[in-house]
Amino acid sequence: MATYKIGYFVGSLASGSINRTLANALIRLAPDDLEFTEIPIKDLPLYSYDYDADFPPEGRALKNAIEGSDGVLFVSPEYNRSIPGALKNAIDWGSRPWAPIRLPASRPESSAPRRAASARP
């Protein structure tokens, strides 16, 4: 049986985040053919195109982790009807400079405690 490597992001930087607890629960419930590795985002500097010529180690590690994954899972809170700034920064690092990255489709979901809390108008 093939094993699929799944990189996952926890969008909250809080040490006691319910999103980290949720990520761990999802991993425990996942099929045995999935191997999960967290892609850390807390030490990334704020993205700037000034780094494009020579990425810092944290930026290179993030890009390598994404490219080495068969799939990516985002487990994140919703802040002000959007994603947390740290997660947006990680997405900027992963997508710049622009180059297509082979990734499967993803579907964002909210970890809001009530369905209405994540409703869109």
The predicted-structure confidence for 35-76, as pLDDT tens digits, reads as follows 999 999 999 999 999 999 899 999 999 999 999 999 999 999
If one looks up domain 11-112 in CATH, what number appears?
Answer: 3.40.50.360
Task: Flag the least confident range among 47-51, 70-74, 87-91, 109-113.
Answer: 109-113
Cα distances from 46 to residues 71, 81, 100, in angstroms, run 24, 21, 21
CA distance 70 to 68: 7
Sheet of strand 4-10: strand arrangement: 34-38, 4-10, 71-75
Q: Is-contact 104 71, C-beta < 8 A?
A: yes
C-beta atoms surrounding 40 within 10 Å: 14
pLDDT of residue 111: 60
Structure tokens at 99: 């180059």
